[in-house]
Amino acid sequence: MDLSALAAQNPDHWRRAACIRTLTLDAVGAANSGHSGMPMGMADVATVLFEKHLSFDASAPDWPNRDRFILSAGHGSMLIYSLLHLTGYADMTIDQIRNFRQLGAITAGHPEYGHAKGVETTTGPLGQGIANAVGFAMAEESLRARWGRKLIDHYTYCIAGDGCLMEGISQEAIGLAGRHELSRLIVLWDNNNITIDGAVSLSDRTDQKARFAASGWDVFDCDGHDPADIDRALGEAKASPRPAMIACKTHIAIGSSAQDTAKGHGALTDPKLIADTKAAYGWKYGPFEIPEDLKAEWEAIGSRGRAAREAWEAEFALQSATRQASFTRAFAGDMPPKLSATIKALKKQISETRPKVATRKASEMALEVINPIVPETLGGSADLTGSNNTKTADLGVFSPEDRKGRHIHYGIREHGMAAAMNGMALHGGVRPYGGTFMCFTDYARGAIRLSALMGVSVQYVMTHDSIGLGEDGPTHQPVEHLAMMRATPNCLVFRPADAVETAEAWELALSQKSTPSVLALSRQGLPTVRVDHKTRNMVAQGGYVLADAEGKRQAILMATGSEVAIAMAARDLLQADGIGTRVVSMPCWELFEEQPEAYRKRVLPGGPVRVAVEAAVRFGWDRWLFGERGKREKSGFVGMHGFGGSAPAEDLYAHFGITAEAVADKVKSLLK
């Protein structure tokens, strides 16, 4: 490929793009690992985007109305690190670039949210970024409708590779964006025809442009190495009334001997290759060296948006004090102070009326009082709205006709929904929650894990949380999912026992700023077990004594969710036989684990027999059965030992032996 012609046509552009290419070569070379080819190939596109289109101010990375830039092809992380360094983000020093992929550096192997400013989301698991981008664009639409164009009015740009587009999640995202006419979303496809194994044709013959068009997008082409053509395509994409995809024809690892090959995808570390490639670029500077004139040009790009940002700040200052406070509160992720009193009032009412309701219904009852006072919530469901009970009376439905609608019909797209919710939460100003069946946490897993890894407060409303869902049978009955979610670091798993605990769980979940929550909710009606109103949020302690032993304490029953009522019934049986029995409700293990040792000891003292009751697999329960002063020979588990069955719930509980009688018998056998 004749690089000299390219360089000669647009010499200034060429030199600016070469900064990205050579920093990438140097950083990957120094780390002896990483991915050189993608940043080299997309350097021209990224340069034009940052220079001519992206509205941002490197000195104010958190400006709420900035355009968002998402590198879905996260393996090409040196692309974004180079851009952030060159444009003058304060934290992205040349030393950070030198320490690419090293311990303690903000230049992680793949872009990690929260490490470097300007990294809007964690990418690397291919396909997540493009699905996050859809959430960013939905948040922008929603916020623009709510706050007006003067405060929110921006684009979301996303660079995605062949890998992102092959991942199934991409179709969920593309379908969602097309339906919602997210015209502020622009995806730049790095159309280089190469993946790790070789040419794309080894594994795919999809007509990507036709696919996007079929889903309601406008599609554009450009020569990804011609700055004028890139600029034209970006201009057209911005003007399009639908989400836009630009197929950018590029050469991976351009200018190197590995150009257009799978070798070019990975780490180009051979010193001769690096030297030859730099020579082909006409680059005559040392490693990590950016000449002053070029750095100045880039920094001018980094401050191009300063005037717009300052104008925005002036506009913001003109808003009423109430509006400013409420905007700032929402972007800070804080709940309105009213939330606590609202939840207390609901709890009091429930404890007095003692309804027998499914916790999914109880969740709706909580949301009915939460949504009116927390206007930034954006609810939704993956086509199970009536089952997940996520849509409250005041929400309205989000659509191109009603951007103020706050309930989103995600369609049957659990993974896309979860990733979009991550994008919304990361955008800021909105608080997304979304529902599906608990068993389909599997389908959303890739994105739920990233909620936890990034530390974003997304609420997963996972209903139909056990065999208690009944006739739909084992395909729909989660047994291992609680364990999987509990095994995920930085994720709160709530399994409330009744409507009071559900209200408390919602308050806690929404109060988290950097932790997602899974609310595991029952399909079947559950009696109110919290019959004595307590203003204190008991779920906040994770586990607590719901009913204490009368007489000598011989047994402790631990249970969650729908099995708490079974434990209470077992306690009645045992007490009737003179066996003093305590019931501990454990709606959130993670919060219980955080309690001081002295508190945990009060709840779970050594000595008595312990039996855990949960309609799920035992995995994880040993921590509470044998740990915390428990003894193996004095403990037992009543729950599931395999998959469920297709029958009415009551029959299944009897069939699998999850009954008050079975629990009482287990205790008695352990007391012998």
Ligand X SMILES: Cc1ncc(C[n+]2csc(CCOP(=O)(O)OP(=O)(O)O)c2C)c(N)n1
Q: CB-wise, 164 or 176, nearer to ligand X? A: 164
Q: CB-wise, 128 or 560, nearer to ligand X? A: 128
Q: Is the distance from CB of 326 to CB of 151 less than 8 angstroms?
A: no
Instruction: Report, in Å, the least distance between residue 497 CB and ligand X.
Output: 37
Orientation of helix 128-147 relative to helix 414-427, angle to 10°: 50
Q: What is the C-alpha end-to-end distance of the chain, expressed in Å?
A: 83
Instruction: Report, in Å, the least distance between residue 201 CB and ligand X.
Output: 12
302: tokens are 């980094």
- How many CA atoms, within 13 angstroms, populate the side-chain half-sphere of residue 211? 16
Distance, CA of 471 to CA of 622 (rounded, Å): 30
Cβ neighbours of 515 (radius 10 Å): 19
Q: Is the distance from CB of 190 to CB of 246 less than 8 angstroms?
A: no
* Residue 181 a catalytic site member: no
Q: CB-wise, 268 or 508, nearer to ligand X? A: 268
Instruction: Report, in Å, the least distance between residue 200 CB and ligand X.
Output: 7
Instruction: Report, in Å, the least distance between residue 380 CB and ligand X.
Output: 24
Instruction: Report, in Å, the least distance between residue 161 CB and ligand X.
Output: 3
Q: CB-wise, 10 or 191, nearer to ligand X? A: 191
Q: Name the site residues for ligand X (rule: CB under 6 A).
A: 35, 37-38, 73, 75-76, 124-126, 161-164, 167, 190, 192, 194-196, 252, 265
Instruction: Report, in Å, the least distance between residue 196 CB and ligand X.
Output: 5
Given the residues 112, 140, 376, 414, select the one marked as catalytic.
Answer: 414
Name which of 374, 379, 353, 296 is nearest 531 in CA terms. Answer: 353
Instruction: Report, in Å, the least distance between residue 664 CB and ligand X.
Output: 48
Distances (CA, A) of 120 to 27, 133, 496, 638: 21, 10, 33, 45
Residue nearest to ligand X (CB): 161
Name which of 622, 626, 636, 629 is nearest 672 in CA terms. Answer: 636
Q: CB-wise, 77 or 107, nearer to ligand X? A: 77
Q: CB-wise, 265 or 481, nearer to ligand X? A: 265
141: tokens are 């639409």
Q: CB-wise, 125 or 255, nearer to ligand X? A: 125
Helix (H, G, I), strand (E, B) or coil at 249: strand
Nearest 5°: the CA angle 557, 562, 567 is 25
264: tokens are 């070019």
Distances (CA, A) of 24 to 20, 454, 595: 6, 25, 46
Name which of 383, 378, 429, 380 is nearest 404 in CA terms. Answer: 378
Q: So which residues are the catalytic ones?
A: 414
